[in-house]
Amino acid sequence: MPNSEQTNDNRKSGFSSLFSFIRDRREMKEGQLPNEVDRFSSSAERLSQTIEQSNFISRDLSWLQFNYRVLDQARSARRTLFERMKFLAISDSNLDEFSSIRVGSLYNYLDYGKERVDYSGLREIPFRKALFSAIHKFTQEQDEVFEHDLLPLFAEHNLKIGRWSDLEEAEREEVGKYFDRTIYPMLTPMLFDYTHTFPVLLAKTLIFAVVTRVTEQVKEEEENRKISFVQIPANLKRFYTIERTNGELVFIPIEEIMRHELRKLYRNVEILDLHLFRIVRNGDFSIDDNDDVETDFLDEVKQKLKTRRLGRVVRMEVERNVSDWLLNLLKKRWEIDDYNVFTCNHLLDFTCLWQIIKHPDFAELVPPPPSPVPPLGVTREEMEDIFETIKEGDILLHHPYNNFEPVLELLEEAADDPKVLAIKLTIYRLAKKSRITEALLKAAENGKHVSVLFEVKARFDEENNMREAQRLQKAGCFVIYGISRFKTHTKLLQIVRAEEQGVISYSHLASGNYNEETAKLYTDIGLLTCDEVYNRDITEFFNVITGHSLPNEYQYLLTAPRDMRKQIIKLIQQEAENATNGLASGICIKINSLEDKTTIEELYKASQAGVPIRLIVRGICCLRPGRKGLSENITVRSIVGDFLEHTRIFYFHNEGNPKVYGGSADAMVRSFDRRIESMFAFVNPRVKQQVIQILDYNLRDNVNSYELLEDGNYVKCAEKKEEDSFDIHKRFFHVTLEEAMKTKLFADAVPEKKENAAPEPTVTLSESEA
């Protein structure tokens, strides 16, 4: 932002806390905005003091703040219209998942009378009011962004979202034929009355509620009304496109077509009301402990997926002017109230904008990312002989700036290489047409021993993962379908190869999924190594998660659920002790989410001891920075931009001899207690410097960054002139090894380097701890 006045305006519109909208609304003129949010203002105001006094920020309210940062990208004038529509669509997709999982989880407490106390200090019922008030505020903002920021730009691109009244007679004829030919045969009206049970309506699907009456009956008799539901098939495109002779593209929403043609489904029946709505159901479920065979475990997952499709309704979106009679019927049926009902002023479900974004006529207006560059210190030619290159030293891959191709090629070469004896891999999410799966299938066909721990509980990927895992098993791979009590979230690959000098293992340790599609969109790190210590640790870890081994020691790994939290806390406490003793100290952590209360409390103590703490947390952050006497030495920033920040890095200054870890885990209760996770130490000096440089760039970014304030608000970092801007989503394509080797964090506090630097940590457990 060019100046502080604009920054403050942006805070009010996009990054204000849950309750700032109360003050805003008192100043608004009547009719300026729909009244729906006002119904909850007084209730929200009563809860604000409790929330703001807490030393912790609510996980769910913090997530909503993250989605505001996504929505802010749709406001950005530096982006094209189509990029801005993309971010609006993403914010709506995010909200659907949040409603299904987090709001669904809240209802698991409400519906079964279980107690729950949020980090904000609120119990389950008052927190429900606070949360839904915040979601109403957010959806209001989405509508405003679409109406005021995006729609006015459509005409510049000869683009229009058309209504029936906008169509010429010939165009209406064309659209009518499309309805008769394509839509009509797919529709199935579902009647609900005293002879028909209430139909099962699908979540995240556009549905018409049709109120009808037989024409011969007396119109005054209200009891003659009947209601039926028509679901719009999800495999139909949301828009029918008309290209006019003047070059204008008109996108007609499918609901607009159906609204004017639906009478064809109701012959000799009067349609009294016709309203579009959409529901989101509770999608949160957990797999119970199960000691039976794997087939029973898979059956349980499949049964839970069916439960998700029939879960209780937690959110309903409706058009403006929906009839009270219909609304009351649906609210009563689904046991919801006004908090759960959201009135949309424009399109229901902004994810439909993807169809416009991906239209061929606009391909040139969505700028592609730059081409990936080779890993630092490695040429493209060297990467062609991947096994030999790894032998020469550890290689850091930083995606998407570095291609994911080396990992794919490593697996594909291993599948064909007669020297390769075995391949071990953990899989959490895969691409739909995965080269990973194909390589593993080929390896099995070629007689190699292939072991795959396939996490079938990866949320919303359960069915795809089960299908792919069963393909591998049929091909002869040794497949473990996850572990019932835990999700396997660690990202590890090991290839065992017989060479002239003996058997050598090559490994890949990473923060991101083995998914070649998301690797183009998510920032992640991966380490390619044949270091014996890494491989010994990884072999031990695979024996733990596929067998029944309990090793006492890992040298380079921190693992969960065993000891990761404990070891991270020790590292934090050591920095606090150094600061207390007047020694150089510092902590810099880059993660997706910070929610674990024990870790946060240790960071507070370290701050009070004088440790400078720099946190880079993309999403949820329950730590409250900058509070006097609590967290004055902590800053938190979030980076949201062209790529989704997915990298996890933990840096501890250690008197100038930094200890640096990367891996798959966030600082969350689920990561430490309910997932199989791993963090790995960076020991190669060159690679460690590259990782430190990643953190340094993240702290310097002034284009994609937002600062978290003590009151829970986020503010956009002040943007500089173009020549002074620092955009990491562009700069990382041009970084040099020389620059990385010079990078230091907390440089002003670095003492003279000791001649005998402390070795990298060895994690040792007593027999009782193991």
Question: Could you read off the pLDDT of 228-278 as tens digits, one per residue?
Answer: 999 999 999 999 999 999 989 999 999 999 999 999 999 888 898 899 999
Three-state DSSP class for residue 581:
coil
Residue position matching structure tokens 């593209």 = 249
Mean pLDDT of 434-445: 92
Mean pLDDT of 66-77: 96
pLDDT of residue 470: 81
| 295 compared with 716, residue with greater pLDDT | 716
Looking at 136, 398, 489, 653, which residue is catalytic?
489
CA distance 383 to 391: 12
Known catalytic residue at 489: yes
Q: Residue 655's pLDDT band (boundaries 50, 70, 90)?
A: very high
| Burial bucket for residue 527 (CB in 10 Å: 0-12, 13-18, 19+) | buried
Q: Is pLDDT of 442 > 70?
A: yes
CA distance 55 to 51: 9
Q: Is pLDDT of 8 > 50?
A: no
pLDDT of residue 457: 64
Residue type at 606 in one-letter notation: A
Residue type at 32 in one-letter notation: Q
Q: What is the bridge-based pairing of β-strands 491-499 and 420-427?
A: antiparallel
Segment 554-582, tens digit of pLDDT? 999 999 988 999 999 999 999 999 999 99
pLDDT of residue 286: 56
Mean pLDDT of 628-641: 97
HEC assignment per residue over 131-166: HHHHHHHHHHHHHHHHHHHHHHHHHHHCEEECCHHH
Closest CA to 733 of 345, 325, 375, 314: 375
pLDDT of residue 678: 93
Q: How many CB atoms lie within 10 A of CB 364?
A: 10
CA distance 460 to 309: 12
Q: Is pLDDT of 291 > 70?
A: no
| Burial bucket for residue 421 (CB in 10 Å: 0-12, 13-18, 19+) | middle
pLDDT of residue 288: 43
Q: Is pLDDT of 303 > 70?
A: no
Q: Residue 287's pLDDT band (boundaries 50, 70, 90)?
A: very low
Closest CA to 391 of 507, 492, 494: 507
pLDDT of residue 759: 44
| CB 238 within 8 Å of CB 183 | no
pLDDT of residue 485: 75
Q: Is pLDDT of 189 > 50?
A: yes
pLDDT of residue 217: 52
How many percent of the chain have pLDDT more than 90? 68
Question: What is the pTM (predicted TM-score) of this model?
Answer: 0.88
Three-state DSSP class for residue 545:
helix
Q: Is pLDDT of 691 > 90?
A: yes
CA distance 472 to 478: 8
Segment 505-521, tens digit of pLDDT? 999 999 999 999 999 99
| Burial bucket for residue 517 (CB in 10 Å: 0-12, 13-18, 19+) | middle
β strands within 513-611, DSSP E: 522-529, 553-554, 557-560, 587-591
Q: How many CB atoms lie within 10 A of CB 657?
A: 17
